[in-house]
Amino acid sequence: MLVKNYQVLLLDDQIEFHQEMRATFRQHYIFDGARTATELEKKLNETAYDLLLLDLVLDEDSGERIGLSLIETARTLSPGLPVIVVTKDNDAETALEAINLGAANFLYKGKFNYDTWDRKFKKAIEHAPELAEERRSTSKSEKAQDREATPTEALHTFIGQSPKIMEIKRLLDALSEEPEITVLITGETGVGKEVAARYLHRQGPRKDKAFQAINLTTVQKTLLESTLFGHVKGSFTGADRDAEGIFAQAQGGVLLLDEIGEIDANIQVKLLRFLEDRIIRPVGGSKDIQLDVQIIAATNRNLKEEVAKGNFREDLYHRIAAWTIAIPPLRERKDDITLLLEYYAGAPLEEIFTPDSIEKLLHYSWSGNIRALRNAVKYMATKRRIEGKELVDASCLPDDVREYTPVRAHSIEEQQALMLLRHIEEAFGKSTRKQAVAEMVGLENIDNLRYRIKTYFQKYPALFAGLPVISQHYSDIVK
Amino acid sequence: MQKLANHPKYILIIWSWWKRTAPAFLASGYEVWAVEGKPSDRLVLIDERADYAAIIAQLLADETQTDALVFLHRRSHNPVEDLKSVTDALRSADAGALRKAFAFSDGRDYLYLSANEWGLIGNEGQLWYSSGGTKMRSAEAAANTVRRTHFDKVWQYYSQQCKRKLLELKEELLAALWVLPVAQSTEAVDNQTWLRAFKKEKPLLYARLLDLANEDSPKFNMLLEQAEQKSQEKLRFGECRLNFSELNPADARAQYQHLADFIRDGIVNLEAPVLVSDSLRMLRDRFDDLLHALPESTYP
Amino acid sequence: MTIHCITSEASVLATFERRLAQENIAVQLLHDARKPWNAPDWLHVERLVLFTPFLYENQYVAAEKIWQSWLKKTHPRIVFFTAGFCQSDLGVANHLDLMNLPKSLRDFFAQQSSDLSPTTVDTEGLQLHHKLARFFDGHGKESIFDVLSDITRLIGMAVAGAQRHGDSFEIIREDFLQKLPAKWAELNNRWLNYYALLCCLPVADTLRETNALIAKVDQNYMGGICEQAELFQEETLLNLLNDIHKQLFKVRQTCL
């Protein structure tokens, strides 16, 4: 419960917005205002605020809109000051970028709701010291906290201290305050998509309501619709009574639809209808049911490609993909491997593993991600016990870990080639003129463009597999 | 297509600003006004009695990347000739800069508040216009600031006018030519024979084509004049031709020359058998080349 | 094979029809592009040719990018082509250059799949997708969403003032409601600037519905919002504004 009035600095070039905010939140917040970046810097230098609300403002010099770059300014001038970014409606991209840059949360300017905004302010202010602390915290504190959790909770603890995971956690914290938003979590098998979904549920206002999860590939196709939306008695053979679907069971709470990329066109239409109007209709039923459920979709497929292939509806894709959280595979956040090994093994690495086996475990590619790592820890613990060894050595490691040798990474030149080719590919999406494309990617002329593409094709043909436009029109481009 | 960069924009109006009494116009011969909310843009008022070409040259000397529109109060019956006095001063070495010049007179042009509520100038050297008890202002005199919407609307209208006219002629002309049986034929015909038929069927279109290439023809000139009076629409290219040939970036100037040459030598004056479809394709290509070389967009 | 066409030039279509008849391909005018869009029966449309740019409200409009996006999202089975007096360019496999027709039009139309070219030709006409993007996502007064969001927020804050703080109508009017007429005029102005032009698009029906919703808010609420204490608290008002937002968002989603 707040007992004091907090000092909030609002940066916005709309003077009316300052007045509105002051009047609306006068009970617990004292607002100060800045309308330009210069004013913001001045105010931050002079006063200690509890919260900064940041909108895009006009830059006095360029006349361009600036905003997000000011997050860094604020963090430098007032370390630990929580920042909430005020964005345009549905501008998920800016909000996402803001969170990545260190903002604690975001507000949609046109979606005013007193309680939600108030809660966001409070949460940002009250968690501010934690956020600063979190960056400094050691893995030990999290481990200690995690070890106290119950077994079910522990299974769903979101472990990770790598910058990427910290960013994702901050984003999930922010999104948890938007109980209407549909979130898409992507990532390879075993990266912890369900763990992230549960984390989102635990942080938000729906935390006291149901969390339901369903893997859409595990349900027989003919039964999927009824499993999701329920059915009425007699609607098909075997439907001897009315049954509630998982959507209804998740009423008020959160529903995780795992492997969303696998559903057929019929279910896609019904899901779209739910996302647009929050309405479902049980199989065989004649009445629509209004539900309040937050959907989290998860997939290990590239849904954009599925849309391009015609397997997934584009409108549904846009509905669910505005807020996409991509959980990186373990090989891209090697910092977390130690943490996870210690977590699942229950002790510091050096107390369980020999230096050699630690080396092997840390360099392994973990293509099966956390799930594979967890299974490997179990396997090694058993093997160590059976063989009566004090520490896990090479002989206790799973075969594929023991025999693993890292694959060659792209050379610097190959990486540079790939980067340029990707720019060219993107530029051809904007213009069909070679001259314009050459200019866009910073090459002097068409000859240079042709030469680069031709040379790279001869040297690194494999790179072109991911470049459909260049590949398709290769001969036109280089002629 | 070249894209316009986000350059500063200057509008320079050469007019009877000296008639303003309170406050008196600056002795330097020009005044620079800011544009509301756009710190890099300017409205420059230049006294028509001053050496305005020198003032323009001086103001733009270090501003090669600045886009600029010059408006000159009409001094004779031939606005294109009037404007030639400023083209040298106005031309930029930067290919991406947009530079255009137009004449205005008699309260009829878009620039006037009397003709258009978003105009800039009133009567007698003022940035306001009063009619029937209503005073329309395009600027805040106290702050030497021009209202942004007025500045932007005038900018948009004039900067796009020529390209728009060009695209409209291209589309209308090709739609009319392509449907001719002779354009679908794979056999060569005498150029003047098919052209005679076209002139007869679509004389106004033909007149506009001649006008674009500055090909003098009293008969078709008169036709255009009459059509303009009837439709109250400016059909002739007028100052646009000057802009195409003198003021656009070098590439666009060259493309205009190609187009004008082809209209003259490849269509209007050619006396030889031709494959009409080939002639039309070449005409189209030259229209497209010029359109793509103009850095501005065609419509707001 | 039947080709459906959208064009503003009847004579060009007639010539095109004659040319296609030589290869036993039928041509049907789906819509006269000079008129506002009226939803046709899409059932029999398999191949659609948009003649671009087309003349609408005295402007040569290039709407192919919007058409491409809209068809992909709403009628993905329809194969989309453009045609016109503009040179075809690299990578634009579905553009028919009328000045340079392929030898076999049957092959041209048969070869294309509904997997459309990623790019379109540059006709130099009015780029409607840019205009639409500005209408929705431009900054400040340029964006209809921005104005609408200001209006919705003002009403939401006014309701919070009344219900949470128990503020009097006079205070609420001063803090929030008195700004609404100007904001609403701004929205109306912006809407009217675009509405007629955008009605050439296949989302014209949604735009007409939006227009009706705006008129409803206009007639029933905005006139008296600063005088009648009960109006701003009526749930219908916020619902109507949300519906306007929903409809516009739908247009944005399908067209861009």
Confidence of residue A475 (pLDDT cuts 50, 70, 90): confident
**pLDDT over 60 (residue A305):** yes
- Of the listed ranges A99-103, A213-217, A225-229, C90-94, the least confidently predicted one is C90-94
Region A261-286: mean pLDDT is 90
Name the range with the highest mean pLDDT among A239-243, A298-302, C216-220: C216-220
* CA A165/CA A370 separation, integer angstroms: 13
Q: What is the pLDDT of residue A390?
A: 85
Residue C83 token pair? 């045609």
Task: Using a CB–CB cutoff of 8 Å, tell me whether B214 touches chain C.
Answer: no
Name the range with the highest mean pLDDT among A217-231, A387-401, B122-136, C191-205: C191-205
ipTM above 0.85, yes or no: yes
Region A63-79: mean pLDDT is 80
Task: Look up residue C198 and give its DSSP letter.
Answer: H
- List chains touching A (3+ CB pairs under 8 A): B, C
Q: Min CA distance, C14 vs chain A (Å)?
A: 30
Confidence of residue C203 (pLDDT cuts 50, 70, 90): very high
Span B263-288, pLDDT tens digits: 999 999 999 999 999 999 999 999 99
Confidence of residue C118 (pLDDT cuts 50, 70, 90): low
Q: What is the pLDDT of residue C141?
A: 59
CB contact under 8 A, C127 and B174: no
* Greater pLDDT, A58 or A48: A48
Give the nearest partner residue to C139 out of A24, A65, A314, using CB atoms. A65
Region A76-97: mean pLDDT is 83
Q: Please enumerate in sequence order all residues whose Cβ is within 8 A of that of A42, keeping only pairs 6 or more positions apart, or say none.
A: A34
Q: Min CA distance, B179 vs chain C (Å)?
A: 6
Q: Min CA distance, C99 vs chain B (Å)?
A: 6
**pLDDT over 70 (residue A147):** no
- Three-state secondary structure readout of chain A: CCCCCEEEEEECCCHHHHHHHHHHCCCCEEEEEECCHHHHHHHHHHCCCCEEEECCEECCCCCCEECCHHHHHHHHHCCCCCEEEEECCCCHHHHHHHHHHCCCEEEECCCCCHHHHHHHHHHHHHHHHHHHHHHHCCHHHHHHHHHCCCHHHHHCCCCCCCHHHHHHHHHHHHHCCCCCCCEEEECCCCCCHHHHHHHHHHHCCCCCCCEEEEECCCCCHHHHHHHHHCECCCCCCCCCCCECCHHHHCCCCEEEEECHHHCCHHHHHHHHHHHHHCEECCECCCCCEECCCEEEEEECCCHHHHHHCCCCCHHHHHHHHCEEEECCCHHHCCHHHHHHHHHHHCCCHHHHECHHHHHHHHHCCCCCHHHHHHHHHHHHHHHHHHHCCCCECHHHCCHHHHCCCCCCCCCHHHHHHHHHHHHHHHHHHHCCCHHHHHHHCCCCCHHHHHHHHHHHHHHCHHHHHHCHHHHHCHHHHHC
Task: Using a CB–CB cutoff of 8 Å, tell me whether A435 touches chain C.
Answer: no
* CA B62/CA B296 separation, integer angstroms: 22
* Greater pLDDT, A459 or B110: B110
CB contact under 8 A, C118 and A433: no
**pLDDT over 50 (residue A143):** no
Span B13-34, pLDDT tens digits: 999 998 888 788 888 899 999 9
Q: What is the pLDDT of residue C140?
A: 58
Q: Min CA distance, B128 vs chain C (Å)?
A: 24
Question: Which residues does chain C have within 8 Å of residue A109's beta carbon, measured at their own beta carbons?
Answer: 146, 149-150, 153
Residue type, B248: N
Give the nearest partner residue to B280 out of C12, C55, C99, using CB atoms. C99
Region A370-381: mean pLDDT is 86
Judge contact between C29 and C12, C-beta under 8 A: no
* CA A130/CA A133 separation, integer angstroms: 5
**pLDDT over 90 (residue B290):** yes
CB contact under 8 A, A432 and C90: yes
Question: Which residues does chain C have within 8 Å of residue B1's beta carbon, measured at their own beta carbons?
Answer: 122, 124
Question: Which residues does chain C have within 8 Å of residue A434's beta carbon, measured at their own beta carbons?
Answer: 90
Cα angle: C34, vertex C35, C38; to 5 degrees: 135
Q: What is the pLDDT of residue A1?
A: 43
Residue type, B73: H
Q: What is the pLDDT of residue C115?
A: 57
Task: Using a CB–CB cutoff of 8 Å, tell me whether A440 touches chain B.
Answer: no
Whether pTM exceeds 0.90: no
* Greater pLDDT, C120 or A151: C120
**pLDDT over 70 (residue B294):** yes
Judge contact between C129 and A430, C-beta under 8 A: no
Question: Which residues does chain B have within 8 Å of residue C122's beta carbon, measured at their own beta carbons?
Answer: 1, 292
Region B104-113: mean pLDDT is 91
Across all residues in chain A, what is the average pLDDT?
A: 82
Question: Which residues does chain B have within 8 Å of residue C99's beta carbon, measured at their own beta carbons?
Answer: 174, 178, 277, 280-281, 284
Question: Which residues does chain B have within 8 Å of residue A60's beta carbon, measured at their own beta carbons?
Answer: 39
Q: What is the pLDDT of residue A148?
A: 37
Q: Min CA distance, B172 vs chain C (Å)?
A: 10
**pLDDT over 50 (residue A136):** no
Of A136, A137, A196, the closest CA to residue A172 belongs to: A196
Question: Which residues does chain A have within 8 Å of residue C73's beta carbon, measured at their own beta carbons?
Answer: 314-315
Question: Which residues does chain A have within 8 Å of residue C186's beta carbon, measured at their own beta carbons?
Answer: none
Judge contact between B127 and B146, C-beta under 8 A: yes
Q: What is the pLDDT of residue A145?
A: 36
Give the nearest partner residue to C15 out of B178, B292, B299, using CB atoms. B178
Task: Using a CB–CB cutoff of 8 Å, tell me whether A113 touches chain C.
Answer: yes
Task: Using a CB–CB cutoff of 8 Å, tell me whether B232 touches chain C.
Answer: no
Confidence of residue C139 (pLDDT cuts 50, 70, 90): low
- Of the listed ranges A224-238, A404-418, C171-185, C242-256, the least confidently predicted one is A404-418
| Nearest residue in chain B measured CA to CA from A60 | B39
How far, in Å, are A107, A173, A192, A428, B134 from residue A99 at the CA level?
12, 10, 21, 31, 51
- Of the listed ranges A285-289, A360-364, A439-443, B258-262, the least confidently predicted one is A439-443
Query: Residue C185 — φ and ψ, nearest 5°?
Result: -65, -40
CB contact under 8 A, C76 and A310: yes
CB contact under 8 A, C127 and B285: no
Q: What is the pLDDT of residue C90?
A: 62
| Nearest residue in chain C measured CA to CA from B170 | C85
CB contact under 8 A, A433 and B1: yes
State which H helix or E strand residue C48 sits in: strand C47-51
Q: Please enumerate in sequence order all residues whose Cβ is within 8 A of that of C190, keeping only pairs 6 or more positions apart, or say none.
A: C135, C141, C142, C144, C147
Longest dimension (CA), chain B: 72
Interface residues on C facing A, Cβ-Cβ cutoff 8 A? 72-73, 76, 89-92, 115, 118-119, 121-122, 137, 139, 143, 145-146, 148-150, 152-154, 156-157, 160-161, 164-165, 175-176, 179, 245, 249, 253-254
Q: What is the pLDDT of residue A408?
A: 53
Q: What is the pLDDT of residue B286?
A: 96
| Nearest residue in chain C measured CA to CA from B149 | C141
Span A311-363, pLDDT tens digits: 899 889 988 988 899 998 888 888 788 888 888 888 888 888 988 888 888 88
Q: What is the pLDDT of residue A137?
A: 43
Q: Min CA distance, A118 vs chain B (Å)?
A: 33
Across all residues in chain C, what is the average pLDDT?
A: 91
Span C13-45, pLDDT tens digits: 999 999 999 999 999 999 999 999 998 999 899
Task: Using a CB–CB cutoff of 8 Å, tell me whether A65 touches chain B.
Answer: no
Q: Please enumerate in sequence order all residues whose Cβ is within 8 A of that of C134, keeping only pairs 6 or more positions apart, or say none.
A: C142, C143
**pLDDT over 90 (residue C82):** yes
Residue A368 token pair? 């099966």
**pLDDT over 80 (residue A129):** no
Longest dimension (CA), chain A: 74
Confidence of residue A27 (pLDDT cuts 50, 70, 90): confident
Give the nearest partner residue to B40 out of A58, A63, A433, using CB atoms. A63
Question: Which residues does chain C have within 8 Å of residue A111's beta carbon, measured at their own beta carbons?
Answer: 149, 152-153
Q: What is the pLDDT of residue B1?
A: 43
Confidence of residue B253 (pLDDT cuts 50, 70, 90): very high
Cβ atoms within 10 Å of C49's Cβ, excluding its own: 25
Q: What is the pLDDT of residue B2?
A: 45
Task: Using a CB–CB cutoff of 8 Å, tell me whether B231 touches chain C.
Answer: no
Across all residues in chain B, what is the average pLDDT?
A: 91
CB contact under 8 A, C59 and B280: no
Name the range with the highest mean pLDDT among A171-175, A327-331, C226-230: C226-230
Q: Min CA distance, B289 vs chain C (Å)?
A: 10
How far, in Å, are A20, B87, C146, C147 from residue C174 at the CA level?
10, 55, 22, 19
Q: What is the pLDDT of residue B256?
A: 97
Task: Using a CB–CB cutoff of 8 Å, tell me whether A403 touches chain B.
Answer: no
Task: Using a CB–CB cutoff of 8 Å, tell me whether C168 touches chain B.
Answer: no
